[in-house]
Structure 1
Amino acid sequence: MSVTTKTAPATRRGVTEHAAIAAIDSGTRVLRLPTIRDRFEQTAAAAQREQLSYLGFLAELVMAECDDRDRRRAARRIHDAGFPRDKRIEEFSFHANPSVNPAVIHQLATCAWVKAGHPLCLIGDSGTGKSHLLIGLGTAAAEAGHRVRYTLASKLVNELVEAADDKQLSKTIARYGRVDLLCLDELGYMELDRRGAELPFQVLTEREERSAIAIASNEPFSGWTKTFTDPRLCAAIVDRLTFAGQIIETGTVSYRLAHARHARTTGASSNRHAGAKSG
């Protein structure tokens, strides 16, 4: 009476399926291919069902790895930009703020202005969506492969003052000069002395006509003398931020305040309705 023993199925050249899986797992770890490591078995099963060729199967795996790598890089660039919160252009309510032209914003989201190194100014009162647009366009630029840095104007000035005191000013200005897009928020909320105004001017000069900058301000350009008290310096800064650039005016009506009022009114109406029902 003969006894038969079951063995693991063999692949070509005598390598068992278990050994092949172990080799792929080990090799993809060494080569740092996490997506291929995670998906090769399910992709192989799908390729068998769909009768893909060896090349088709390999192409599926390689494209999946490339797509995931692109997503991870984009996520890293967004993280490194230092945005204070997640805001995207597709979440912006153009209906709530008709002052903002959606066609213009969607064109800016293609990032051609970033590639060209042009400036962008978002001017409007508080609550009109300036920061949302600034962060959303910055996020779009990071996802498109650009190096982006977000900072508050006050934080930038403080950082530059500290760098100057530590004799690290040139290095700090050069670091800001290396990013493809600098997003400067809340410009116009403070009054700067001569030194405080000259330091960010050096950053603008470093980037002039070479790398893009986007600013958000609650003050029209005519009111910037409250921040940059030296008229000549103020004019030079405005010139650098507007030459060959785009100006988006977000208006004076706070849709954030209007939304809050609408929410309160809706909530009060719902409570009255519920009270009437229970009564």
Structure 2
Amino acid sequence: MSATGTRPTLAGISEPAAAAAISAACKTLYLTGTAKIAASMAEEAARARLSHQGYLAEVLTFECDQREDRRRDRRVKEAKFPRPKRLEDLDLAHIPDLPPATMTQLAGGSWIDAGEPLVLLGDSGTGKTHLLIGLGTAAAEQGRRVRYITTAALVNELVEAADNKELSRLVGKYARLDLLCLDEVGYVKLDTHGAELLFQIITAREERASIACASNANFSEWGQTFTDPRLAAAIVDRLTFRGHIINTGTDSYRLKTTRQAQKG
């Protein structure tokens, strides 16, 4: 557009000059996807006898798709999952308490939009962490802000923030997430101070933003983790109210998978 704000006059331009102008414009506008495919798409458009408007639509649609892919990848990276896990890689036959219809509902993420909690209970190796990461990944790819962290790591982070007088900032940071994936609840015994700090995170998200947690201990055993029975009861109450509770059972999913692979 010219300095006067009117549309510039279209004039004849050679193909090399046009390619150079497109490259320069893409660099200025940060159109990284378009810069790579503009020339090849122009050739395809010519072969398909697309109009100028049709070609422009194809290029801009490609750029939008590329940006969405990068945004999705960035959300997954920001979630800090320890390893890639996808829901479609999990054999639901090993988790009778999770029928396909329930899995489809959870994967859709409506429970996250409603601020409902999710608790995964089961013995070690039964697929809890796979489910937790898989659901978190699906949520991140749908555009939600997700963070995965173990209970012990979160408590350590909270204690350090409290010591540095930055607790309010950190609690606010976790409160703004769409989904907090809290793994290994009950694996490590927490002192009273650590348990109270964790309770602040849970309270800050109560009925507003979802927490998905995984534990190998039944609710009746959480008092051993949080030391104070009243605090343990309050945490259980907040993580189960209007929540989804999935029992992954006692049979090790990893052990079954290994044995099947050996038989195969």
| TM tier relative to shorter chain | over 0.9
The secondary structure found in structure 1 opposite 2:226 is coil
The secondary structure found in structure 2 opposite 1:128 is coil
Question: Offset at 1:35?
Answer: 1.2
The one-letter code matched in structure 1 to 2:11 is: R
The whole-number CA distance in structure 2 between the counterparts of 1:34 and 1:171 is 35
Question: Offset at 1:213?
Answer: 0.8
2:94 to 93, 96, 102: 96
**Count of aligned residue pairs for this structure pair:** 255
Work out which of the two has the higher radius of gyration on C-alpha atoms and give 1 or 2.
1
The one-letter code matched in structure 2 to 1:208 is: E
2:31 to 22, 30, 33: 33
Alignment match, 1:13: 11
Alignment match, 1:228: 226
Alignment match, 2:113: 115
Question: Offset at 1:259?
Answer: 2.1
The whole-number CA distance in structure 1 between the counterparts of 2:15 and 2:48 is 20
Alignment match, 2:156: 158
Q: After superposing the two structures, state which structure 1 stretch, 48-57 or 122-131, moved more.
A: 48-57
Alignment match, 2:194: 196
The whole-number CA distance in structure 1 between the counterparts of 2:35 and 2:259 is 52
Question: Offset at 1:13?
Answer: 2.3
Q: After superposing the two structures, state which structure 1 stretch, 215-224 or 99-108, moved more.
A: 99-108
Alignment match, 1:174: 172
Alignment match, 1:215: 213
The whole-number CA distance in structure 2 between the counterparts of 1:100 and 1:223 is 23
Question: Offset at 1:251?
Answer: 0.7
The one-letter code matched in structure 2 to 1:245 is: G
1:241 to 213, 216, 239: 239
1:18-77 deviation per Cα after TM superposition (whole angstroms, max 9, x unaligned): 000000000011001111111111111111111111111111111110011000011011
1:222-253 deviation per Cα after TM superposition (whole angstroms, max 9, x unaligned): 11111112111111101110111111111111
Q: After superposing the two structures, state which structure 1 stretch, 213-222 or 49-58, moved more.
A: 49-58
The one-letter code matched in structure 2 to 1:235 is: A
- Structure-to-structure mapping, 1:37-56, within 5 angstroms: 37-56=35-54
- TM-score, length-scaled by structure 1: 0.88
The one-letter code matched in structure 1 to 2:119 is: C
The whole-number CA distance in structure 2 between the counterparts of 1:91 and 1:130 is 13
The whole-number CA distance in structure 1 between the counterparts of 2:237 and 2:86 is 29
Alignment match, 1:79: 77
The secondary structure found in structure 1 opposite 2:165 is coil
1:185 to 183, 186, 189: 183
The one-letter code matched in structure 1 to 2:237 is: D
Question: Offset at 1:220?
Answer: 1.3
Which ranges in structure 2 are unaligned for 5 or more consecutive residues? 1-9
The one-letter code matched in structure 1 to 2:239 is: L
Aligned pair 1:256/2:247, yes or no? no
Alignment match, 1:133: 131
The secondary structure found in structure 2 opposite 1:114 is helix
The 8 Å contact of residues 97 and 246 in structure 2, kept in 1 or not, is answered as no
